């Protein structure tokens, strides 16, 4: 079985709305394994680095400023197809285009308050995980239910 890791971040609006438990529960219920989590107040410098690919977009300054307004919940999830499945679970970036049953489809209305970030490729997941976590913060473990999730 080939597994991969993805980076999922609950943004300030998700934290302030008390949705962390609901979001974590969905990833656990899906069968993904959490290998790291931290609750932190990110600096604008860290956020600018994280969103560097969007730095030329007109909304970039507002995005960084918003993301620095409140703590975020940073997580690394592992499993087969974790990146693509994680993105499907989150729904479209624009919540108005997200299907019911997705995180954004169930909990969001406006694109500027879409409560979560999820890596869009294995490459970006690896980069984001390295940006937000030290190697020693990633826990290698085997959940007992793994035998009930994978053949």
Residue 97 counted as an annotated binding residue:
no
- Distance between CA atoms of 134 and 108, rounded to whole angstroms? 31
User: Is 59 known to sit in a ligand binding site?
Assistant: yes
Check: CB of residue 95 under 8 Å from CB of residue 104.
Answer: yes
List the structure tokens of 2. 């080939």
Domain ranges of the chain: 5-148
What residue has token string 């949705």? 19
Say whether 104 counts as a known binding-site residue.
Answer: yes
* Active-site amino acid positions: 117
144 assigned ligand-binding residue: no
For the segment 30-47, what is each residue's pLDDT rounded down to a tens digit? 999 999 999 999 999 999
Q: 38 is written with which tokens?
A: 């931290």
What is the pTM for the complete model shown? Answer: 0.95
Bridge partners of residue 47, in order along the sequence: none
Q: What are the φ/ψ torsions at residue 87 (nearest 5 degrees)?
A: -65, -40
Q: Work out the end-to-end distance of the chain between its first and last CA atoms, rounded to an integer number of angstroms.
A: 8
- pLDDT of the residue at 69: 97
In this prediction, residue 1 carries a pLDDT of 66
> What average pLDDT does the structure give for the chain?
97
pLDDT in tens, 42-78: 999 999 999 999 999 999 999 999 999 999 999 999 9
What are the φ and ψ backbone dihedral angles of 6, each rounded to 5 degrees?
Answer: -130, 155
Check if CATH label 3.90.950.10 holds for domain 5-148. no
pLDDT(13) > 90: yes
Contacts (Cβ under 8 Å, ≥6 apart) of 136: none
43's tokens: 């600096």
Pairing between strand 116-118 and 33-40?
unpaired
- What local confidence, expressed as pLDDT, does residue 2 receive? 84
């Amino acid at each position: 079985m080939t597994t991969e890791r993805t980076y999922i971040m609950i943004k300030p609006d998700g934290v302030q709305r008390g949705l962390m438990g609901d979001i974590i529960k969905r990833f656990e219920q899906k069968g993904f394994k959490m290998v790291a989590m931290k609750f932190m107040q990110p600096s604008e410098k860290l956020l600018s680095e994280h969103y560097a690919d969007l730095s030329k977009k007109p909304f970039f300054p507002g995005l960084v400023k918003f993301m620095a307004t409140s703590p975020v919940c940073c997580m690394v999830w592992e499993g087969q197809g974790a990146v693509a499945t994680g993105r499907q679970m989150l729904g479209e970036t624009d919540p108005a285009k997200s299907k019911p049953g997705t995180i954004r489809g169930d909990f969001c209305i406006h694109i500027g308050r879409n409560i979560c970030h999820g890596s869009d490729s294995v490459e970006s997941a690896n980069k984001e995980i390295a940006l937000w976590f030290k190697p020693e913060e990633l826990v290698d473990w085997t959940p007992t239910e793994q035998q009930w999730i994978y053949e």
